[in-house]
Structure 1
Amino acid sequence: MRKRTKSIPVNTMTDNFGGDISIEKISVINLRALEKASENSFEDAQQSHRHDRHSFFLLESGTVSIEIDFQKYKIMPSSVIYMHPDQVHRMIAFENVTVSSWAINNENLNPEYLKLLEDITPAKPLALDEETFSIISEAVSLGIKFSERKNDKLYHSLLKDSCNALVALVVSQYLEQSKSNDRLSRFEIITKAFREMLERDFITAKKPTEYAQTLNISTSYLNECVKNTTGYSVSHLIQQRVILEAKRLLYYSDKSVKEIAAELGYDDYPYFSRLFTKVTEMTALAFRNKNRD
């Protein structure tokens, strides 16, 4: 039975400095062992939540099954995954795991890296070659050593810089898997700009014309670019982003459908209900009940 909660739980990760940076390495046999070794219950370990920072996980050994925004992944050793603070996730299972993790908030994250991370969200697990894995693993070990030197005059700077270096190493790997900006077509550049705006403004901007006006292009041209690049219309992508957030709130909180509609920018509750049914082919309450069985 899922715990009842008014909002999606936010997990404040173990802090190394003033509540904004964390870096650690843990080894756990399974979820039951985690329960015995900590104050968290077995149910808590599987409870869906968000992190309060940008978080990164380097799997060194074992296997991990995790669900991120309704997508299930099985992560194998020598892999890394990045999770944005908006993403809701839960641990399904793991065995004989050694994992390094680091997390950093917006204020301490290099602005250039923050922009790049927004571009690759949502990120999927990324397999690393042996050399890259070794470099990142060594950088984590060094960062952990820095985190233990709390009496150093520049302790926070050491921790901040080492964490940002780790972020840069991971971001560079994700970028290698995608096209660089200088190889993007005009259609792809516009679609990329639209997606960035959508992630930022989907609660307040629901019409394609609003995005087209901000980009200083016609609505028809924006649709042409997006359809050519993604296969979907601008309206479709707007609706999908809104409905993803609605699913998160329905699945992980006990807010009423009317409260969720208002939170997502819909004063017209019946319209929101019809939209949810149209996109998901079930009512909002049916979705909640189905996923809580």
Structure 2
Amino acid sequence: MKEIRDKSGEFLLGLKEPQEDILCTPAQFSEYTVYLVPEGSGIFHADFGAFPFTGPVLLFSTPLQTIYIDECRAIKSNLLQFHSDFYCIEYHREEVACNGLLFNNIYLDPIVPLSPQDVKVFELLLMQMDDEFMQPQPSEIVLRAYLQLFLAKASSIKMNAINTDQDKPQKDELMEKFRTLLNQHFLDLHKPSDYASLLAISSDTLTRRCTKYFHKSPSLLIQERLILEAKKQLHLTRQSIKEIAYNLKFQDEFYFSRVFKKFTKVSPQTFRDKTGISIVADLYK
């Protein structure tokens, strides 16, 4: 891997061409991870979600998700990784708009389908990054600019797909209502039956339509929504684990830690240690 690290040796940005056996091995990275897959197919696993794809595509994952690809067929890929200390997607949200679109969105597939022309654009950006890595003293400013262009272009393609209904060609208004209800009540309502009652449908109907529409079960979405909020507060605030557990209405910090670790494989403190606390935590005090 070609990479840059800070003065203390912490990873900031890296680029490599992983072999298929690495792609197929479950892994958790402390960094944001993007795969450019110009050709091939498989199933991209991110935590408990499974997303079939056929290249050319971009695949996205957030820090400490368990990710891997199976049923690989003739996969070619480039792996781009960056730590939030190098590029804060929340701080740059107005310029790039990738937070909640490419990353940290439990409702959207973490996949961006590409055209052949799109692939050329992304391959050129990666080639330019690769050239900068080869310099005697790679410029963080230049590399950060290439990364921002890469993410901005990916966000634009994803948003265009959503706006033209390519992302979900057949809109399910009932499932869109479920999305709204879940965002409103995820702190208090934790059972699929709770939402089925609000929607006036059976739990079986909710499970069937939700799995078809979001490619995840209602139970998984409910869990993911709560854990997503926990991750945000761990990364974007300086609140203590105890305070975050209280915000999320857990009975105590120990129960919160058990639930968080069951889902993410790491404790809240380990997650915070590995991802760091965002500069955003000090901007909005």
Task: Provide TM-score, normalisation by structure 2.
Answer: 0.52
Could you tell me which residue of structure 2 aligns to residue 174 of structure 1? Answer: 158
Could you tell me which residue of structure 2 aligns to residue 46 of structure 1? Answer: 25
Could you tell me which residue of structure 2 aligns to residue 17 of structure 1? Answer: 5
Equivalent AA in structure 1 for residue 39 of structure 2: S
Count of residue pairs the alignment pairs up: 195
1:106 aligns with 2:84: yes
CA distance in 1, matches of 2:188, 2:3: 38
RMSD of Structure 2 on Structure 1 (CA):
4.5
Contact persistence 1:65–1:94 (CA under 8 A): yes
**Gaps in structure 2 of 5+ consecutive residues:** 165-172, 191-197, 200-205, 211-216, 229-244, 257-261, 263-285
Deviation at 1:174, TM superposition (A): 0.6
Aligned 1:151-230 pairs, distance under 5 A: 151-152=137-138, 155-179=139-163, 205-206=187-188
Equivalent AA in structure 2 for residue 17 of structure 1: R
Equivalent of 2:223, from 219, 230, 243?
A: 243
CA distance in 2, matches of 1:90, 1:247: 20
1:116 aligns with 2:98: yes
* Aligned partner of residue 5 in structure 2, secondary structure: coil
CA distance in 2, matches of 1:14, 1:196: 41
Equivalent AA in structure 2 for residue 67 of structure 1: H
Identical counterparts, % of pairs? 9
CA distance in 2, matches of 1:89, 1:72: 10
CA distance in 2, matches of 1:60, 1:131: 11
The 1:140–1:192 alpha-carbon spacing in structure 2 relative to 1, beyond 3 Å, is farther
Contact persistence 1:113–1:167 (CA under 8 A): no
Could you tell me which residue of structure 1 aligns to residue 127 of structure 2? Answer: 141
| Structure with max Cα Rg | 1
* Aligned partner of residue 116 in structure 1, secondary structure: coil
Could you tell me which residue of structure 2 aligns to residue 127 of structure 1? Answer: 113
* Aligned partner of residue 177 in structure 1, secondary structure: helix
**Gaps in structure 1 of 5+ consecutive residues:** 1-12, 35-41, 181-186, 209-222, 225-229, 249-261, 273-283, 285-293
CA distance in 2, matches of 1:24, 1:84: 16
Deviation at 1:96, TM superposition (A): 4.0
1:267 aligns with 2:251: yes
1:84 aligns with 2:72: no
Could you tell me which residue of structure 2 aligns to residue 279 of structure 1? Answer: none
Task: Provide TM-score, normalisation by structure 1.
Answer: 0.51
Could you tell me which residue of structure 2 aligns to residue 211 of structure 1? Answer: none
